[in-house]
Structure 1
């Protein structure tokens, strides 16, 4: 003989599982969106570092060229030496949450100083 479960014995189990799983799902969503934001900001930093390194290697103003392409709030440092220019761009990334600390992403680019061009003064 097959016994049937009585209807109503597991009433509310879906609600309890949803209440337990929804915060975890929301946390994963926020972490994923923050990661996407950090990756896109890093790509912007890399682009700005390359622009600044190429400009500085031609003798132009590297920090100004990098600032045009850099994400908002970024910090650009240019150093020269041994016939090459090295540029680092650091930018803060706000985590998607009200009180979470900021993440800082960094990108670096190096370019050789072109012959006949004096490298811009580091700043």
Structure 2
């Protein structure tokens, strides 16, 4: 046996928890889009969308969401998450369906959080 604990001639298995960048054998489909809800005052809520690929224009996505869902929204710069979409109201299911419909993400890439 060699250092990796495998017999000579066996293929090395990749560690799923290693810190590989997307260019090192990753397909890029491992990134997730997180859709969350934030409670404001009273019954008011915000829906936030984080993790959309930077190749897409977030302002155009917000514009389409505002028109489709009849709500207001914006793109804000978050210090930890980068650019995040904020939409008024509980739009988690609507945004999930919209992102699948316009082929921005697959069902496996979308993570919907909240109560």
> TM-score, normalised to structure 2's length?
0.28
> TM-score, normalised to structure 1's length?
0.27
Structure of larger gyration radius:
1
Q: Write 1 or 2 for the structure with the bigger share of helix.
A: 1
